[in-house]
Amino acid sequence: MTQEAQSSMLHRARLKALFKRIIVTIFIFVLCYSAIAMVYASKTFYKVRQNYAFILETLSGERKAVSRVGWHIRLPIFTKLELEVPLMNQELHLGNSIEPKRIMSRGNVALWTSAMLTYRIRDLHRWGIENRSPLTLLQTDFDGIVKDVMQGETINELISDRVRIKEQIYRTLKDTPINEGGLTLEEKYGIEVISFVLRDTRYGEKLAAASEEKKRRELIAEAENYAADLEASRTRKLYAAYSESIQQMRQSLGISSANDPSLFDFLNQQKWAAAYEKNQQGQNTFVLNNTATAVPVTLPSAVTSMPQAAEEDPRGLPYAPKP
């Protein structure tokens, strides 16, 4: 065997050994990564974050809360992680949705409203161990309490008195038992009610349109009443002025109430005389009082027989028409 053949065989052997090492290294890496992934997926090692806790169930069926921050280890077959519980402030929406929900007020009038409760878990044992599916139960109780309060109010109070209703619902959620003689919401679930907010309260589209029409009619009626009050006030002032003028005329003429018919006849004659004086162009319509609101009175036109041609006297002057 020549020198070149030996070097070629050694080179091939080195390449085969290198490839085997690479394959073995990749296999070991994949195996280790798979083992770590399986351990992590099974949560044999699990991490408790700050403001979080875990509910752990042991092989004996005992359930306990783990709230210490850091890494923890458990036996994957003999223990089970049931629930991860956030200990921060959490929100709960009416109807489990941020969209407005339809609620019937007192009087069976529909109202669209949305609300949000902010709460914090204080007792892990009460929340995660004594209650199965605590979030679902809390959502049901929250919706029921809010609807009970809101359906006991009229539609106008729900729209115009939001502050009082909001505070009433907050006190009910925080201090009032869910049932008579029972537990409050905080006692039942081990939570603290932080705040309650009514995000939106509004009419439906048809009811809103009807409300706008009602407001428009009320404004028109109010304007008409105001105008009528002004007219009544003007009439009262005018009547007072007339009464005072008549009284002064009585005093100046020295007449008593027994002469009222004669006085009224005189005033009536003066009224018609003034009306005829204003009728300067042969109109048949004139106004008794010089106001914009006076009622026009139509007089019959005078019937006179006018001569066809004017007669002349012997001196060449026209005769005056004879009645």
Torsions phi, psi of 146, nearest 5?
A: -65, -45
Query: What confidence score (pLDDT) does residue 310 get?
Result: 44
Paired tokens of 189: 């679930």
For the chain, where are the E strands, in sequence order? 45-48, 52-57, 63-66, 70-73, 80-86, 90-93, 101-104, 110-121, 191-202, 285-286, 297-298
pLDDT in tens, the chain (323 residues): 576 777 777 778 888 888 889 999 999 999 999 888 887 777 788 889 999 999 888 888 888 888 899 988 888 778 888 888 999 999 999 989 888 888 888 877 778 889 999 999 999 989 988 888 899 999 999 999 999 998 888 888 888 888 999 999 999 999 999 998 889 999 999 999 999 999 888 776 666 566 666 777 887 888 888 888 888 888 888 778 777 777 777 777 676 666 667 666 766 666 656 655 555 555 544 444 444 444 444 444 444 444 444 444 444 444 444 44
Rounded to whole angstroms, the Cα distance separating 169 from 114 reads 13
- Domain 89-203 classified CATH 3.40.50.720? no
Question: Going by DSSP bridges, is the β-strand pair 191-202/285-286 parallel, antiparallel, or unpaired?
Answer: unpaired
Distance (Å, whole) CA 267 – CA 272 = 9
The contacts of residue 196 (CB under 8 Å, 6+ apart) are 115, 116, 117, 118, 166, 169, 170, 173
Residue spans of the domains in the chain: they are 38-85, 89-203, 211-282
Q: Do 163 and 196 touch, CB atoms closer than 8 A?
A: no
| 189, containing H or E segment | helix 185-189
Residues 6+ apart with CB under 8 A from 177: 183, 184
Adjacent-strand bridge partners of 154: 106
- Name the amino acid, one letter, at 44: T
Question: Nearest 5°: CA angle at 85, between 84 and 87?
Answer: 145
316 — alpha (psi -120 to 50), left (phi > 0) or beta? left
Cβ 72 vs Cβ 47: under 8 Å: yes
pLDDT for 318 equals 47
Residue 286 CB coordination number (10 Å): 18
Structure tokens at 25: 């290294």
β-partners of residue 85 are 53
Residue type, 276: Y
> Is 85 exposed, middle or buried (CB count within 10 Å of its CB: 0-12, 13-18, 19+)?
buried
